[in-house]
Amino acid sequence: MLSLAADEATRLFARTCASVSRRGRDVAPRGMSTREVLGAELVLRNPRERLVDAAPARVLNPAFAAAEALWILSGSDGEWIFTFNERLRRFTDYGRLQGAYGPRLRRWRGEVDQLDAVRRKLLSDPSTRQAVITLFDPATDFAGYRDVPCTLGYRFSLRDGALHMFTSMRSQDAWLGLPYDLFTFTILHELLAGWVDAELGEYHHAVDSLHLYENHLRPAAGLPSPLGPRSVMPPLAVPWRDFDALLTQVIAGEPVGHVGWDDFAVVVASYRRWKSGNRDAAQATIANKSGPLATALRDWYALLTDRPETIAAAPATPSSPKEVVA
């Protein structure tokens, strides 16, 4: 059992990659060479330090990080996410991602808003052990679709005034997927803590198969040491009654008068302009913005322009050896 902990996400990511490289065993699921650790728990002590930045070896697309979080939290399975990660299209069936987390989180079987149910459960019984969100659905996920959730579910425990979150993963690509999952899941953690008037506790990430694909072993070994400065994202707490309306505005790229969420809105708006080919307008949109996502997006644009070879693919589970690309 691999157990790792860090105060912030970049260091947890770096320690995870080093440990899998050093302690993992070589296996080849679906014919893809992989180094794997079976059984791991990763603990992030300060969940608001969620943005991984291990430049120049591993740099995230902050626009996709923001968009994916919004897509999931809003309950969406809409095609607009493909603007931010075109690679996801190859995993659709009947025009949609059958394993999309959003509908399962906010409309399980078309009926249950699990996020609201857990919020209500914690408010009515703060010591409950029943604050559980389920994402894996046997009725759908054994049906042979291309997109099967790696995340099984989330649990929450409120103890001594702090809300702790526990995520269970059947599978985790440490290089491509882990940084984005830490980003989205800790936002969910922070929001729920705010809705139940709790301090933000530790984030726990349990994984059955924690792995690196063979072609990521070399870049994983090249992570910088020491790592760069730590970055804390601004608070994101908002009232529950305003949450869905706020998400609608932010997804549209419209400011909402909240420092943290306006940072999301501006990077979403900027990246849509970038993808439409209007790069000057995209860069102008974030030129004078100081939020951590806008700052990271300026760096991302610079890499796309000057050093595109340093950019790793946006996360999407490969289905063949040819799809394991850097």
C-alpha 246/C-alpha 187 separation (Å) is 15
Q: State which H helix or E strand residue 15 sits in.
A: helix 9-23
Q: Which two tokens stand for residue 182?
A: 């830490």
Residues 6+ apart with CB under 8 A from 143: 98
Does the active-site annotation cover 17?
no
CB 212 within 8 A of CB 35: yes
C-alpha 188/C-alpha 322 separation (Å) is 34
Rg (C-alpha) for the chain, rounded Å, is: 19
Peptide bond into 103 cis (omega under 30): no
Handedness of CA 76, 89, 316, 295 (dihedral sign): negative
C-alpha 52/C-alpha 62 separation (Å) is 10
Instruction: Catalytic residue, from 150, 191, 193, 267: name it.
Output: 150
**Helix, strand, coil % over all residues of the chain, rounded to 5:** 45, 20, 35
What's the distance, CA 260 to chain centroid?
A: 17
Q: What positions carry a catalytic annotation?
A: 150
